[in-house]
């Protein structure tokens, strides 16, 4: 039995599908379906059971009825603009600590989602550089604090603990995320509705639309997770990005190219984002490669084309 927390979410549901393709159906999906629309992400997933996240937290304290083979911890509050620090720390940090302690005690492999938000305004993206860890919001801090807790516990761990610092993930299954969905999805909608995509004007020393992010397709993220499941001897905190940044202009051109029409319009950069915006991210994936993961990652042109073809039913 494999547990996937956040299983009805964006990365979680894609991970469950990946497990299904690998012939694994005995999966417990843990989530919070207060937003009932997320059920759509699970309709084509084969799972053995569903537990509410609060019930799962109780079972961690009482003892799970069955010892899992592994736990993929994808559940979190991923709203980077959330200002309620108590809620964020309880949801992202304390819940994760309780799950880690259960897995360490029961010797259950734990593969969990961290975030490139831990780097904040840094221009260095190395997992081993604490000076590069400069989160800009409480979301990034909640992820960083748990990574540091994991590092302190790793020397005592007798089972796998692997943290994955996801960079900008995009792909099918993110429609429920609203403002937190990828720009690829927002621009696809904008282009279909208005014939244009809207990008920010220059910021952080970058020209209009030239801010750069490391965009990674969700299927590549799933591949890394499943590879770790197959290599339970590998632990640590790893960046998960393509290793190459792309400008927002490049991604916008990929969306326009798929549609075969459209234009770009630059809009003023929001004042409220000035101190909380990452104008550049690019994963250093040396540690992941050194650990043995050798598969290539999709570039934005191929990744955006695959994404839009999937959501619009075009082969």
For residue 189, give the nearest of 40, 14, 311 by alpha carbon.
Answer: 311
pLDDT(271) > 70 = yes
* 276 burial level (CB within 10 Å; 0-12, 13-18, 19+): middle
Q: 143 catalytic, yes or no?
A: no
Q: What value does the mean pLDDT take over residues 198-218?
A: 93
Report DSSP state, residue 130: G
Q: Give me the CATH code for the 2-169+217-242+285-298 domain, please.
A: 3.40.50.720
pLDDT in tens, 63-107: 899 999 999 999 999 888 888 999 999 999 999 999 999 999 999
Measured over the CA atoms of residue 116, residue 119, residue 122 and residue 123, the dihedral's sign is negative
Percent of the chain exceeding pLDDT 70 equals: 99
From the list 95, 112, 119, 139, the catalytic residue is 139
Tokens of 307: 């994404």
Residue pair 183/251 in contact by the 8 Å Cβ criterion: yes
Q: Angle CA(202)–CA(274)–CA(145) in degrees, nearest 5?
A: 125
Report the pLDDT value the prediction gives residue 166, as an integer from 0 to 100. Answer: 98
Q: What value does the mean pLDDT take over residues 169-183?
A: 94
* 290 burial level (CB within 10 Å; 0-12, 13-18, 19+): exposed
Instruction: Provide CB contacts within 8 A for 178, sequence distance 6+.
Output: none
* 167 burial level (CB within 10 Å; 0-12, 13-18, 19+): buried
pLDDT(314) > 80 = no
Residue pair 234/227 in contact by the 8 Å Cβ criterion: no
User: How many Å apart are CA 161 and CA 154, to the nearest integer?
Assistant: 7
* 239 burial level (CB within 10 Å; 0-12, 13-18, 19+): buried
Q: Give me the CATH code for the 171-212+245-281+301-311 domain, please.
A: 3.90.25.10
pLDDT in tens, 31-58: 999 999 999 999 999 999 999 999 999 9
Which segment of 24-28, 173-177, 290-294 scores lowest on mean pLDDT? Answer: 173-177
Percent of the chain exceeding pLDDT 90 equals: 88
Enter the pTM of the model.
0.95
Which segment of 43-52, 268-277, 294-303 scores lowest on mean pLDDT? Answer: 268-277
Report the pLDDT value the prediction gives residue 220, as an integer from 0 to 100. Answer: 98
pLDDT(272) > 80 = no
Q: What value does the mean pLDDT take over residues 176-181?
A: 90
- State whether residue 183 is helix, strand or coil: helix
- State whether residue 5 is helix, strand or coil: strand
Report the pLDDT value the prediction gives residue 310, as an integer from 0 to 100. Answer: 96
Backbone angles phi, psi at 169, to 5 degrees: -90, 135
Report the pLDDT value the prediction gives residue 133, as an integer from 0 to 100. Answer: 95
Average pLDDT value for the chain: 95
From the list 50, 53, 177, 266, the catalytic residue is 177
Tokens of 63: 């003892």
Measured over the CA atoms of residue 93, residue 96, residue 136 and residue 178, the dihedral's sign is negative
Q: 177 catalytic, yes or no?
A: yes
Q: What value does the mean pLDDT take over residues 291-300?
A: 98
In the chain, residues under CATH classification 3.40.50.720 are 2-169+217-242+285-298
Report DSSP state, residue 280: B
The single residue listed with the structure tokens 């904008």 is 190
pLDDT(19) > 70 = yes
H or E segment to which residue 257 belongs: helix 248-259
In the chain, residues under CATH classification 3.90.25.10 are 171-212+245-281+301-311
Helix 183-194 with 248-259: angle, nearest 10 deg: 50
Confidence of residue 258 (pLDDT cuts 50, 70, 90): very high
Q: What value does the mean pLDDT take over residues 293-299?
A: 98
Report the pLDDT value the prediction gives residue 315, as an integer from 0 to 100. Answer: 61
């Amino acid at each position: 039995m494999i547990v996937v927390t956040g299983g009805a979410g964006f990365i979680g549901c894609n991970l469950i599908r990946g497990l299904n393709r690998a012939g694994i159906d005995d999966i417990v999906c843990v989530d919070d379906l207060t937003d009932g629309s997320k059920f759509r992400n699970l309709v084509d997933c084969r799972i053995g059971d569903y537990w509410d996240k609060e019930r799962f937290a109780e079972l961690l304290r009482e003892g799970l009825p069955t010892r899992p083979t592994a736990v993929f911890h994808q559940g979190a509050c991923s709203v980077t603009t959330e200002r309620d620090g108590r809620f964020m720390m309880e949801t992202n940090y304390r819940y994760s600590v309780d799950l880690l302690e259960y897995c360490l005690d029961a010797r259950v492999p734990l593969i969990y989602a961290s975030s490139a938000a831990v780097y904040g305004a840094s221009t260095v993206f190395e997992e081993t550089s604490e000076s590069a860890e400069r989160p800009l919001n409480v979301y990034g801090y909640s992820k960083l604090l748990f990574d540091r807790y994991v590092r302190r516990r790793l020397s005592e761990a007798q089972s796998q603990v692997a943290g994955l610092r996801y960079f900008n993930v995009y792909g099918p299954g993110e429609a429920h995320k609203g403002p937190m969905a990828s720009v690829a999805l927002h621009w696809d909608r904008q282009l279909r509705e208005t014939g244009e995509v809207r990008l920010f004007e220059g910021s952080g020393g970058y020209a209009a639309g030239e801010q750069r992010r490391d965009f990674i397709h969700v299927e590549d993220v799933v591949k890394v997770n499943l590879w770790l499941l197959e290599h339970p001897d590998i632990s640590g905190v790893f960046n998960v990005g393509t290793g190459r940044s792309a400008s927002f202009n490049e991604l916008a051109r990929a969306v326009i190219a798929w549609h075969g029409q459209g234009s770009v319009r630059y809009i003023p950069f929001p004042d409220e984002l000035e101190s909380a915006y990452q104008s550049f991210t690019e994963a250093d994936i040396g540690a992941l490669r050194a650990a043995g993961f050798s598969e290539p990652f999709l570039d934005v042109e191929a990744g955006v084309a695959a994404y839009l073809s999937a959501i619009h039913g075009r082969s």
